[in-house]
Amino acid sequence: MDLTKKNEQENANVESTRGYYYYVPSTDIYETSEEYKLIFDLPGIEKEDINVKVEKDILTVTAESKKNAPDCYECLRNEIDFYGYQRSFNLNKAVDNGKIGADFSDGVLTLSMPKKEEQKTKEIQIKVA
């Protein structure tokens, strides 16, 4: 699994067709012998505004903020911009794409990505003759 920061600068602050600016979210990456865990910091984002997809072994996380005026109010000053987050990782066929799990709480998205069986660490027992 290639989790390098390749091309992150190219994705930072890219304007979308809807006027959003996409930022690269801060991400922690962990590995065990069984799985990878990616933790994305997505402040100001709601669960329904997050899109996680895997296409051709590329994992892409996209999230966009929603900005709505409170009901029955007229906007007098508008300083908060629309924004979004986008980040992609090459999974290199190391992850079982059909078993990726996602959890979102308090602005933090956690992806649990089980390794394919052939990618898992296996211990070899040494027999003493």
* pLDDT tens per residue across all 129 residues of the chain: 655 444 444 444 444 545 567 899 999 999 998 999 999 999 989 999 999 999 999 999 999 987 777 788 888 887 877 788 999 999 988 899 989 999 999 999 999 999 988 766 667 778 887
Coil, strand, or helix at residue 11?
A: helix
CATH 2.60.40.790 fits 8-67+80-116, yes or no: yes
Longest dimension (CA), the chain: 84
Q: How far apart are CA 113 and CA 6, in angstroms?
A: 20
Q: Residue 19: its pLDDT value, please?
A: 58
- Please give the model's pTM, rounded to 2 decimal places: 0.74
Contact 55, 103 (CB under 8 A): no
User: Pairing between strand 35-41 and 108-114?
Assistant: antiparallel
Domain boundaries, the chain: 8-67+80-116
Count of H-run helices and E-run strands, the chain? 1, 9
The upper half-sphere exposure of residue 127, i.e. CA atoms within 13 Å in the direction of its Cβ, equals 1
Q: What are phi and psi of 110, to 5 degrees?
A: -120, 125
**DSSP 8-state secondary structure symbol assigned to residue 117:** G
